[in-house]
Amino acid sequence: MDFSRYIIATDLDGTFLGPDGKFVERNIRAVERFRQRGGLFTVSTGRVHLNIRDAIGDPRALLSAPCVMCNGAYLYDFFEERALEGSIMEAETVSALIAFIKKAYPELQFRVSTPTDLRVERTDGYLTRDLTRYDEGSVLVSPALDWPTDDWYKIVFRGEPELMQSLRAELQSRFGDQIFMTASDSRFLEVQAPGVNKAAGLEKLRRICGGDRILIACGDYENDREMLQAADIAICPANAMTEIKEICDYTLCHCGEGLIGDIVELLEKGEIGK
């Protein structure tokens, strides 16, 4: 069977990876069959190129197209080791936002993703585990008010769900359409430039890979919403949020059972696709 008409773009955590954050062997076998028959396989993730290797090892062994990184802020080609078509936050907005955070929430932990590094003020608390996932030498630790403000892809705030909800409401009230906010977990609040989302990233991917391919998108959480709505075929695992299940064409197995395995088998049987 020829899969050259298809692109599969999948979220990582909670979708492609198992609940333990590790590979599901059934997915790996399915991706290999899919690629051998001409399909393009990639990921669309909130992660950046500096911490994706922790999740999937050498991306070149798994992927066959550029990745949608940082919730769509840019694409990254791991074969050429370069970023493509990035969307940076406005420097004035960044400066105002951080000044507000330092005054109103002086103990709040956050991290900033840029084209070259990850920036944090501290390495304890919530950030302890986060930072172990980044490539060696890619983390800069220094006061936030000393950081350049003209190269930020994303700010990720970390805290308990109640704090993240109240912070989100306050940032929306203060900054409105100057920022776009989403979440990949109840303890994260992710802030980016307006118009940045995984759907925008997928449109860039379509242009690069050929707009006539059928795009299958897979995701499980809030930051996947726009991507799933924009896809030709939207699929989520059984562990997805209820709101995500409601917008998908198919809800298949739990992420721990191998969602991509389900998808490729159904494509082989002709039970999904156009």
pLDDT band, residue 274 (cuts 50/70/90): low
- Return the minimum-mean-pLDDT range out of 7-11, 43-47, 207-211, 213-217: 207-211
Yes or no: say if 183 and 190 are a contact pair by the CB < 8 Å rule. Answer: yes
**Amino acid letter, residue 238:** A
Task: Kindly give, in sequence order, each residue whose CB lies less than 8 Å from that of residue 46, ignoring residues fewer than 6 positions away.
Answer: 13, 70, 71, 154, 184, 190, 223
Q: Give the integer Cα–Cα distance in Å for 205 and 72.
A: 10
Phi-psi region of 70 (alpha: psi -120 to 50; beta: other; left: phi over 0): left
> Model confidence over 154-197: pLDDT tens digits?
999 999 999 999 999 999 999 999 999 999 889 999 999 999 99
H helix runs in 21-132, sequence order: 25-36, 53-56, 91-104, 127-131
Confidence of residue 211 (pLDDT cuts 50, 70, 90): confident
- CA–CA separation, 49 and 117 (whole Å): 10
- Summarize pLDDT for 37-92 with one digit per residue, the tens: 999 999 999 999 999 999 999 999 999 999 999 999 999 999 999 999 889 999 99
Long-range contacts, stretch 158-161, CB < 8 angstroms, 24+ apart: 158/108, 158/109, 158/110, 158/111, 158/125, 158/126, 158/127, 158/130, 158/187, 158/188, 159/108, 159/109, 159/126, 159/187, 159/189, 160/187, 161/186, 161/187
Residue 273 has pLDDT above 80, yes or no: no
The pTM score is 0.91
Q: What is the pLDDT of residue 129?
A: 85
The pLDDT confidence band at residue 99, using thresholds 50, 70 and 90, is: very high
The pLDDT tens digits for 1-27 are 899 999 999 999 999 999 999 999 999
Give the tens place of pLDDT for each residue, 141-166: 999 999 999 999 999 999 999 999 99
Crossing angle for the helix pair 161-175 and 91-104, nearest 10 degrees? 130
pLDDT of residue 126: 85
User: pLDDT band for position 266 (50/70/90)?
Assistant: very high
Locate 191 and state its tokens: 């802030």
User: How large is the average pLDDT for residues 105-122?
Assistant: 95
pLDDT in tens, 130-143: 899 999 999 999 99
Per-residue DSSP letters for 81-96?
TEEES--PPPHHHHHH
